[in-house]
Amino acid sequence: MKIKDLQHDNQEKIHQAAQLLVEGFKTHWPNAWPDLDSAMEEVRDSSGEDRINRIAVDQDGNILGWIGAIKEYDGHAWQLHPLVVHPLLQERGIGRALVQDLEGIIRQLGGTTIYLGTDDEDSMTTLADIDLYPDVFQHIARIRNLKHHPTSFTRS
């Protein structure tokens, strides 16, 4: 596996990244990128001076995973968006390697914070369908992963 920049002039890689978004999110977040057109728009929108895009590829150049980041707060903080690994290749260290690579790049750019958000639309954790307020931190401290939500990845 090799991690490199996603070149936005490489139509084959752009198409692969879009397909990966559709496949990676369709089970638990089907409305995120429900079709290739919406995913292609997301990939196109991910280019720009204020963005980082890295892909993990196999020896044949097939995309295994994609991570991106959006510059915020004058580059001190970056929003991690998106992070996707092919569903059949998850839990093999690809996502972790992509995050570590991104951390290094952001550190070199003077960034000090990476943040991300994640949804729980189909009751995959104990945080779904409850009122988190006023005890947000207590709920977070007691979170349980019920159905393989990616929160386990982000907390490890």
What are the structure tokens assigned to 93, written together? Answer: 């260290």
Are the beta carbons of 97 and 42 closer than 8 angstroms? Answer: no
- What is the rounded (10 degree) CA torsion for 97, 91, 44, 104? -20
Q: Does the predicted TM-score (pTM) go above 0.85?
A: no
User: In Å, how far are 93, 149, 152 from 155, measured between CA atoms?
Assistant: 14, 11, 5
Region of 103 (left: φ > 0; alpha: ψ -120 to 50; beta: rest) is alpha
Instruction: Please state, in angstroms and rounded to a whole number, the distance separating the CA atoms of residues 24 and 90.
Output: 10
- CA distances 80 to 32, 67, 147, Å, are 16, 7, 23
CA 69/CA 79 separation, integer angstroms: 5
83-115 pLDDT, tens per residue?
999 999 998 999 999 999 999 999 999 999 999
Residue 155: what pLDDT? 44
Q: Decide: 24 and 46 in contact? Cβ < 8 Å.
A: no
- Residue 16 to residue 12: CA distance in whole angstroms: 6
Mean pLDDT for all residues in the chain:
89
Task: Give the per-residue pLDDT at 128.
Answer: 79
Q: Rounded to whole angstroms, how far apart are CA atoms 121 and 28?
A: 7
Which domains does the chain carry?
Answer: 2-117 (3.40.630.30), 118-156 (no CATH)
State yes or no: pLDDT of 150 exceeds 70. Answer: no
